[in-house]
């Protein structure tokens, strides 16, 4: 995705290996301008000085967790898209991140080319289902939900079915992996 060339991306993660892999991919393959931070305090300083166009933010970090950092980023520059990263797939984490203003979240290990597509979408570099008129989006969304509800029949509530339909739509757009969320829903249902 050459559309990421020259884009300023801030990566925040306490794992040095993850930082190195993400930075290497984004700089070498996507020609992006990348800065990194290893904790929340450094991330806040870098956010102001570097002024990134998009942020990759780990959820689990020492001292200040990623959700708190997300809130601070959004209070300073709400228009900057933040993609949360985490080592665990959880509906609760997804809901919490989205409620705080994250663009989406991705589960590690991160597929690099999927990441490039998600960053492109966050920056508005690709057409997606939200680029039409409100009427077109409503028709598309209803069609997608109706189609997706028939994909897999689970013994779940109407509310869960609607959430799964949303997960299906997001997966089709390359933003989430449906299988991880189905497994998490099943696990939650058993508890």
In the structure, what pLDDT confidence band is assigned to residue 144 with cuts at 50, 70 and 90? very low
Which backbone phi and psi does 151 adopt, to 5 degrees?
A: -60, -45
- Provide the β-strand partners of residue 61: none
**Spatial CB neighbours of 24, under 8 Å, sequence gap ≥ 6:** none
pTM for the whole thing?
Answer: 0.67
Predicted confidence (pLDDT) per residue in 88-139, tens digit? 877 888 888 899 999 998 988 898 878 998 999 999 985 443 333 344 334 3
Triad 97, 118, 47: Cα angle to 5° = 60
| Average pLDDT of the chain to the nearest whole number | 79
3-state secondary structure 139-177: HHHHHHHHHHHCCCCCCCCHHHHHHHHHHHHHHHCCCCC
Q: Are residues 30 and 116 in contact, defined by beta-carbon separation less than 8 angstroms?
A: yes
């Amino acid at each position: 995705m050459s559309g990421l060339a020259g884009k300023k991306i801030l990566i925040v993660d306490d794992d040095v290996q993850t930082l190195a892999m993400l930075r290497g991919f984004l700089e070498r393959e996507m020609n992006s301008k990348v800065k990194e931070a290893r904790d929340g305090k450094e991330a806040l300083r870098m956010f102001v000085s570097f002024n990134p166009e998009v942020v990759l933010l780990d959820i689990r970090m020492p001292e200040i967790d990623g959700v708190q950092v997300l809130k601070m980023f959004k209070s300073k520059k709400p228009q900057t898209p933040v993609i949360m990263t985490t080592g665990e797939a959880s509906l609760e984490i997804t809901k919490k991140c989205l409620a705080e203003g994250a663009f989406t979240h991705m589960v590690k290990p991160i597929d690099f080319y999927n990441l490039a597509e998600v960053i492109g979408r966050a920056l508005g570099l690709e057409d997606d289902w939200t680029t039409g008129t409100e009427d077109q989006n409503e028709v598309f969304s209803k069609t997608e939900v109706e189609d997706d509800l028939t994909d897999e029949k689970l013994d779940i509530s109407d509310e869960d079915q609607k959430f799964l339909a949303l997960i299906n739509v997001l997966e089709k757009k390359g933003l989430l992996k449906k299988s991880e969320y189905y497994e998490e829903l099943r696990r939650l249902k058993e508890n």
